[in-house]
Amino acid sequence: MVLGLVLFRTFQPCYLVYHPSHLFFLVARLENVDLLPLGANNVLVKMLAAPINPSDINMIQGTYAILPDLPAVGGNEGVAQVVEVGSQVKSLKTGDWVIPKDAGLGTWRTEAVLAENDVISLPNDIPLLSAATLGVNPCTALRMLSDFEDLKPGDSVIQNAANSGVGQAVIQIAAARGINSINVVRDRPEFTQLSDRLKAIGATHVIKEEALRRPEIKELFKICPKPKLALNGVGGKSATELLRHLQLGGSMVTYGGMAKQPVTVPVSALIFKDVKVRGFWVTQWKKDHSKDERAFRVMLDELCNLIKQGKLTAPACTEVGLQDYSKALDAAMQPFTSAKQILIM
């Protein structure tokens, strides 16, 4: 029996997220799903683990750039093991670990028949949770650190949402490259514990959002260079404050908008500091490089090498059985969430 966490419309409350159109509810329910026949260019995979990412929640809410035709199995990321291969499959073999090349495969299920070209292999000697969470957040972090500014050892990057999955990956990849990271988080009762945890994985500085607007931020820049790069996953005032502290000609890259507020750019930052305001979406990067698998492979190899060296670990995770999906979805939508929910199949 193949189980999948299926998303569909209903006009009656169930386990649901209210759709912003106010016309219907989107429901997630565990159901039996059909398994397609194994074709010559297909692989049968057993899903091992799949995270619940903010983008998954946005997709359920109908606010994401990719919306599946309903009903559809949820989940855009995860790791699976190849159980059987079609007669024409060349790049994969039984026992290989694979992850989706792109979003929309529906990873919240126990098994699936997928096209060989829709997945890419990973070494199966890295931790399961690292593999399950590799395809989105670490890829986003690596690309943003690589593609917008020429960062050298000793340079600085500043980011908000520093305790997010992307934020934790940024911290670790930056540390591995000798880059200082200034990490901004919202104030909370357990700030000290969070700061210690982020510093333990390589954060150079951890500060509260309020500190960006206070004079003491100048003291920090006496011991740490002003950042060439700012990474914005929040939007609103938080993004504006990041911009204010960029070097002349620096870049702010927006990859998320958790505050659901627009990014406001001060005219002075554009005129007098010539800052660059950019956006990044890893799904678009994958689409742009879909005909060049080598680019994706090189990126995954770099990340896997960091994992094997102990320089890149998975974010804090809570493992939840697929049968308990409702608890995982509830937890994933809570504010100040520090642990990523991982569905274990």
C-alpha dist (Å) from residue 232 to 53, 151, 161, 210, 317: 17, 17, 8, 16, 23
* pLDDT tier, 26 (very low <50, low <70, confident <90, very high otherwise): low
Cα–Cα distance between 291 and 293 in angstroms, integer?
A: 6
Mean pLDDT of all residues in 327-345: 88
Which residue intervals of the chain bear CATH 3.90.180.10?
3-133+314-344
How much of the chain exceeds pLDDT 70, in percent? 94
Lowest mean pLDDT across 217-226, 271-280, 328-337:
328-337
Which residue intervals of the chain bear CATH 3.40.50.720?
137-283
Residues 46 and 80 sit within 8 Å (Cβ to Cβ): yes
* pLDDT tier, 180 (very low <50, low <70, confident <90, very high otherwise): very high
Tell me the pLDDT tens digit for each residue of 104-159.
999 999 999 999 999 999 999 999 999 999 999 999 999 999 999 999 999 999 99
Tell me the pLDDT tens digit for each residue of 258-284.
898 999 999 999 999 999 999 999 999
Q: Residue 258: which of 238, 282, 230 has the closest Cα?
A: 238
Cα–Cα distance between 52 and 315 in angstroms, integer?
A: 13
Instruction: Give the active site residues.
Output: 64
* pLDDT tier, 247 (very low <50, low <70, confident <90, very high otherwise): very high
Cα–Cα distance between 79 and 98 in angstroms, integer?
A: 6
Mean pLDDT of all residues in 86-102: 97
223 Cβ contact list (under 8 Å, min separation 6): none
Cα–Cα distance between 206 and 197 in angstroms, integer?
A: 10
State the amino acid at position 128 in one-letter form.
L
Reported in sequence order, the residue ranges of 95-189 that DSSP labels E, i.e. its strands, are: 97-100, 111-115, 119-122, 156-159, 180-185
Tell whether the model's pLDDT for residue 214 goes beyond 60: yes
* pLDDT tier, 23 (very low <50, low <70, confident <90, very high otherwise): very low
* pLDDT tier, 13 (very low <50, low <70, confident <90, very high otherwise): very low
How confident is the prediction for the chain on average, in pLDDT? 92
State the amino acid at position 246 in one-letter form.
L
Residue 19: per-residue pLDDT = 44
Residues 145 and 179 sit within 8 Å (Cβ to Cβ): yes
Residue 144: per-residue pLDDT = 98
Tell me the pLDDT tens digit for each residue of 186-212.
999 899 999 999 999 999 999 999 999
Domain 137-283 has CATH 3.40.50.720: yes
Hey, which residues does 205 pair with through a beta bridge? 182
Domain 3-133+314-344 has CATH 2.60.40.1080: no
